[in-house]
Structure 1
Amino acid sequence: MFLSANRSTLLGRKIELSATLSKGLLILENLASSPTSKGLTAIASEADLTKSNTHRILVTLKKFGFIQQDADRNYRCSMKLWKLGNTVLTQTDLPGVSSLAMRFLADSCNESVHLSVLDGLEVLYVDKLESDRPVRAYTQKGGSSPLHCVATGKILLAYNYRHLRSSVAAKLQRYTSATITSPKHLDKEMECIVANGYAINCGEFREEVYGVAAPIFDPTGNAIASIGISGPSTRLTIDTIEKLIPKVVQAGKMVTAELAGLQHTFRNE
């Protein structure tokens, strides 16, 4: 009789923990998808929980670094989610998944093609196809550049701006006369990038290097990587970039579709 009661107690605790975990994950997803921070009352209402239960979950999420509180006591997700997502991304053969799109883009423009991911406040070049033209862009596989002044970095910054804005805006280092160094200018640029679906670099990191990039989305709609081209401004003029934008955007959509297909395959295994 005692053993039976003990098992029932343990089962009840497991069910309670499972329900709490489910609610915690729902709250985390809700905050991650929100463009603004949220207060306790709103979070509790959306999670269909009491304020006391919601507060306990929020305290736990905050303790483990998944969320943080602003000065107004509202809650928002921390960069820990991005770090975890980036770790998962490194376990995916992103260059392999992107190889066809990169080759398509290289054949379309005959300029250097980059595949990039976020790395703190920089963009990391995880793969590159070199142009066979005599003058090439000054980047290499495994190298990195500041987010705010190269095309593949700007596109990732724009689609992750809510989390990165304060950190990037505080360190807008000037590299050329075209580098964005004003937070207000950066805000407008990021807004335009998201509206257009691509980013352009006109000599903002290296005066003689121009580029254009498009986002790559994971199956949940998060911009996790970018694909783009770069080359000397003598060849990659503004007029040339405008003609190549559809190809760059198409390449980004190709990789996005491949990632969606991989998730579909995993679900059916």
Structure 2
Amino acid sequence: MFLSAKRSTLLRRKIELSATLSKGLLILENLASSPTSKGLTAIASEADLTKSNTHRVLVTLKKFGFIQQDADRNYRCTMKLWKLGYTVLTQTDLPSVSSQAMRFLADSCNESVHLSVLDGLQVLYVDKLESDRPVRAYTQKGGNSPLHCVATGKILLAYNYRHLRSSVCAKLQRYTSATITSPRRLDKEMESIVANGYAINCGEFREEVYGVAAPIFDPTGGTIASIGISGPSTRLTTDTIEKLIPKVVQAGKMVTAELAGLQHSFRSE
């Protein structure tokens, strides 16, 4: 009789733990999809939970680094979620998944192609296809560039701006006369990038190098990488860039579709 009662208690505890986890995941998804931070009352109302239950979950999520509070004591997600997503991404071998799109872009544009991810407050080039032209933009696979002044970096910054703005705006270093160093101007640039679906670099990191990039989305809609081209300004003129934008955007959509297909395959196994 005692063992049966003990087993029943353990079962109830497992069910309670599952319920608690469900509440935590529900709140986490709610915050991750919100463009602004939220207060306790709003979170509890949207999750259909009591304030006391919601507060306990928020305290736990904050303790483990998944959320943080701003100056108004409202809650928002941290970059830890992105880091978890990036860990999963690296297990899918992003360069292999993106190889067809990169080759398409190289053949279509005949310029150097970059595949990039976030690396702190910089962009990391995880793969590259060099242009076969004698004069080309120089970057190195495994190398870094500032987020706010290269095309692939500006894409990653724009789509993760809510989490990165304060850190990036505190260090807006000037590299050329075209580098954006005003937080207000950067705000407008990021808004425009998200609205248009692509980013352009007009000599903002190196004066004679221009580029254009597009986002790569994971199956949940998060921007986990970017793909783009770069080349000398003598070839990548404003008119040329305008003609190449659809190709770059198409390449981003190709990788996004590949990642969605991978997720479907994993779920089917």
Q: Bigger CA drift: 77-86 or 243-252?
A: 77-86
- Give the distance between the partners of 2:141 and 2:71, measured in 1 at CA: 41
Measure how far apart 1:138 and its partner are: 1.7
Deviations 1:153-173 (A, max 9, x none): 001111111111111111100
- Give the distance between the partners of 1:237 and 1:86, measured in 2 at CA: 34
Q: Bigger CA drift: 66-75 or 214-223?
A: 66-75
Measure how far apart 1:235 and its partner are: 1.1
SS at match of 2:172: coil
- Give the distance between the partners of 2:92 and 2:267, measured in 1 at CA: 16
SS at match of 1:139: coil
- Give the distance between the partners of 1:255 and 1:186, measured in 2 at CA: 27
Measure how far apart 1:136 and its partner are: 1.6
- Give the distance between the partners of 2:251 and 2:82, measured in 1 at CA: 24
Deviations 1:217-267 (A, max 9, x none): 001111110000000111111111111000000000010011111111111
- Give the distance between the partners of 1:155 and 1:249, measured in 2 at CA: 12
How many residues of Structure 1 are paired with residues of Structure 2 in the alignment?
Answer: 269
- Give the distance between the partners of 1:9 and 1:79, measured in 2 at CA: 37
Measure how far apart 1:39 and its partner are: 0.8
Q: Is 2:151 aligned against 1:151?
A: yes
SS at match of 2:153: helix
| Structure 2: segments with no counterpart, 5+ residues | none
Measure how far apart 1:183 and its partner are: 0.2
Measure how far apart 1:41 and its partner are: 1.0
Measure how far apart 1:191 and its partner are: 0.7
- Give the distance between the partners of 2:68 and 2:223, measured in 1 at CA: 22
- Give the distance between the partners of 2:133 and 2:66, measured in 1 at CA: 47
Deviations 1:167-188 (A, max 9, x none): 1111100000000000000000
Measure how far apart 1:12 and its partner are: 0.3
SS at match of 1:81: helix
Measure how far apart 1:48 and its partner are: 1.4
Measure how far apart 1:110 and its partner are: 0.6
Q: Is 2:120 aligned against 1:120?
A: yes
- Give the distance between the partners of 2:264 and 2:44, measured in 1 at CA: 33
Per the normalisation by structure 1, the TM-score is 0.99
SS at match of 1:85: helix
Deviations 1:80-103 (A, max 9, x none): 112222222222211001000000
- Give the distance between the partners of 1:76 and 1:155, measured in 2 at CA: 21
Measure how far apart 1:49 and its partner are: 1.1
- Give the distance between the partners of 1:45 and 1:210, measured in 2 at CA: 48
- Give the distance between the partners of 1:214 and 1:190, measured in 2 at CA: 13
Mapping of 1:215-254 within 5 angstroms?
A: 215-254=215-254
SS at match of 2:230: strand
Mapping of 1:249-264 within 5 angstroms?
A: 249-264=249-264
Indicate the RMSD between aligned Cα atoms, in angstroms: 0.8
Q: Is 2:82 aligned against 1:82?
A: yes
Find the counterpart in structure 2 of residue 168 from structure 1: 168
Measure how far apart 1:73 and its partner are: 1.3
- Give the distance between the partners of 2:263 and 2:84, measured in 1 at CA: 18
| Structure 1: segments with no counterpart, 5+ residues | none
Find the counterpart in structure 1 of residue 72 from structure 2: 72
Measure how far apart 1:77 and its partner are: 0.8
Measure how far apart 1:70 and its partner are: 1.3
Mapping of 1:23-62 within 5 angstroms?
A: 23-62=23-62
Using the aligned pairs only, state the percent identity: 93
- Give the distance between the partners of 1:187 and 1:63, measured in 2 at CA: 30
